[in-house]
Amino acid sequence: MKLPMPPPDPDQLMAQVLQAKRLPEILGRAIPATSAYLPWDKMRFKTPPDGLSLEEWWLVTRMERRWSQRSIEGLRAKDDSPFSYTLPDEVLRAVDQINRDASGQIVISEQVTSPGTRDRYLVSSLIEEAIRSSQLEGASTTRRDAKEMLRTGRSPRDNSERMIVNNYRAMQQVIDLKNEQLTPALVLELHRIVTDGTLEDPSQAGRLQNDDACRVRVYGRDQQLLHQPPPVVELPGRLEALCDYANGQGKEYIPPVLRAITLHFVAGYDHYFVDGNGRTARALFYWSMLAEGYWLTEFLAISRILRAAPSKYARSFLDTEQDEGDLTHFFIYHLGVIQRAIRDLHAYLARKADDLRQAEAEIRALPGEFNHRQLAVVRSAVSEPDQFITAKSHAHSHRVSGQTARQDLIGLESEGYLERHKVGKAFVWRPASDLASRLHTS
């Protein structure tokens, strides 16, 4: 991506305005409130109010923002100034909606809340996030191959697949540790998991970067430097401060969802590791959201949306860094991503509910009795007739024992809905070639 145009320095603009004796006129002019909290790189294309230059408009806007900013004292930029944020209406509105929609204040499909199907949807969501987060960092495996690998439990065949397996394990770890305090050791362990077997130097997995000469930097097109992180000597202290902030230490209050987004930003800004910083930062975001009670986060594939527009993701970092560490820019973008992920989940569940009703209408006439896991296999088989199922993948999807999974599949086989094949030393099941007609005529 191309580096966005940095804003004019407000202090220099103020000096120019004072020298021109324009400050009383500028401050006395009625400035209409903008409908969006814009960075300079977007605001410079707008028409300023009558009688003001673009630079003067930016100066007044920046002064208003400074007056209402809140500082995050524990987390500081490279120049030792604290990161800060404001709470414009668009942020407050988004925070309220996410608090309602992701923390249990809204009725969600029983496919998520029912113990019978919840685990299946959780596994699917974790798989999706693991794939998309890895693809954001360069993994080239197709979504179809990656899903097949994770569901069947086969070993990864290359570095890209290893990244996805690692990400999946890290997401599982985050869920298990959501009630634990965040510590530097836990962050290092998450990094070790996401980079296991993928680094040129395996010893760097789970270790802070310790050589400024090899310090990772972020480049855009034509090797344009986008971000140079803090020196390595500061990393232990910065990571300690991040953990303190994550655990709620400090006097200032911040809405929990904004705290989680702040962790995401600062972990990416500090770049603690030689590689895997983005994956670790997103894992910390999930940990914080779950720790704060946003239980629906388990089912959200945030990285799928980020990957659809990676330049916007990168720009949200740069807008904050260029604008005096104003996290509001990063907040606005990521609050929108969370809201879209929630909408996508509801739309997905609505589609699945329609499919479920249609399938169950047909399945009700099936001979014998089938449990919810077997019904899920039949529904999945109808929509994906080329898939194959193993006892291991079925057990993994529904979190049951291998013996229970085999009994489920053998039961469907005995009724003619699945066909068993031998692949190597293992058995796999495929949908019967006449499955659809069997359902319609049963």
**pLDDT score of 16 more than 80:** yes
358 within domain boundaries: no
**pLDDT score of 373 more than 70:** yes
pLDDT of the residue at 122: 65
Domain containing residue 276: CATH number: 1.10.3290.10
pLDDT (tens digit per residue) in 283-307: 999 999 999 988 888 878 888 888 7
Question: Are 131 and 52 in the same domain?
Answer: no
| Mean of pLDDT values over 341-355 | 76
The residue out of 346, 364, 392 marking a domain boundary is 346
205 within domain boundaries: yes
436 within domain boundaries: yes
Retrieve residue 165's tokens. 């397996």
Question: Are 93 and 200 in the same domain?
Answer: yes
pTM of the predicted structure, to 2 decimals: 0.80
Which DSSP category does 103 fall into?
T
pLDDT of the residue at 54: 92
Question: Are 182 and 308 in the same domain?
Answer: yes
Question: Of the segments 54-58, 381-385, 386-390, 416-420, which one has the largest average pLDDT value?
Answer: 54-58
**pLDDT score of 143 more than 90:** no
pLDDT of the residue at 130: 82
299 within domain boundaries: yes
Confidence of residue 353 (pLDDT cuts 50, 70, 90): low
Which of 160-169, 376-385, 422-431 is predicted with the least confidence, judged by mean pLDDT?
Answer: 376-385
Retrieve residue 99's tokens. 């608090």
pLDDT of the residue at 437: 66
Q: Which helix (H) or strand (E) holds 73?
A: strand 70-76
What secondary structure does DSSP assign to 226-271, as a single string?
EE-PPPGGGHHHHHHHHHHHHTT-SS----HHHHHHHHHHHHHHHT
The residue out of 48, 68, 88 marking a domain boundary is 68
First to last CA, the chain: 57
User: In 3-state terms, what secondary structure has residue 219?
Assistant: strand
pLDDT of the residue at 107: 47
| Mean of pLDDT values over 162-180 | 91
Question: Are 42 and 81 in the same domain?
Answer: no
**pLDDT score of 103 more than 80:** no
Portion of the chain with pLDDT greater than 70, in percent: 85
- How distant, in Å, are the alpha carbons of 110, 178, 188, 296 from that of 288? 25, 7, 16, 13
With CA atoms as reference, report the closest residue to 170 among 280, 306, 289, 295.
280
| Mean of pLDDT values over 158-175 | 90
- Which amino acid is present at 439? L
Cα distance between residue 139 and residue 296, in whole Å: 26
Question: Are 83 and 64 in the same domain?
Answer: no
pLDDT of the residue at 259: 96
Radius of gyration of the chain (CA): 26
Q: How many CB atoms lie within 10 A of CB 352?
A: 17
Structural domain boundaries, residue 385: 373-441
pLDDT of the residue at 202: 92
Question: Are 38 and 160 in the same domain?
Answer: no
Q: What is the mean pLDDT of the chain?
A: 84
Question: Are 423 and 331 in the same domain?
Answer: no
**pLDDT score of 166 more than 80:** yes
Question: Are 168 and 264 in the same domain?
Answer: yes
| Mean of pLDDT values over 419-439 | 79
Cα distance between residue 265 and residue 77, in whole Å: 11
Question: Are 31 and 158 in the same domain?
Answer: no
User: In 3-state terms, what secondary structure has residue 71?
Assistant: strand
Confidence of residue 106 (pLDDT cuts 50, 70, 90): very low
pLDDT of the residue at 145: 82
pLDDT of the residue at 299: 79
368 within domain boundaries: no
3 within domain boundaries: no
pLDDT of the residue at 365: 61
Q: 64-68: long-range contacts at Cβ-Cβ below 8 A with a sequence spacing of 24 or more? A: 64/31, 65/326, 65/328, 66/10
Which DSSP category does 426 fall into?
E
Domain containing residue 379: CATH number: 1.10.10.10
Cα distance between residue 45 and residue 54, in whole Å: 9
| Mean of pLDDT values over 174-178 | 91
Which of 109-118, 146-155, 170-179, 346-355 is predicted with the least confidence, judged by mean pLDDT?
Answer: 109-118
5 within domain boundaries: no
Question: Are 180 and 312 in the same domain?
Answer: yes
Which of 114-123, 132-141, 227-236 is predicted with the least confidence, judged by mean pLDDT?
Answer: 114-123
277 within domain boundaries: yes
The residue out of 20, 36, 68 marking a domain boundary is 68
Classify the C-alpha dihedral 422-423-424-426 as positive or negative: negative
Question: Are 77 and 18 in the same domain?
Answer: no
Question: Are 124 and 31 in the same domain?
Answer: no
Q: How many domains does the chain have?
A: 3
**pLDDT score of 257 more than 90:** yes
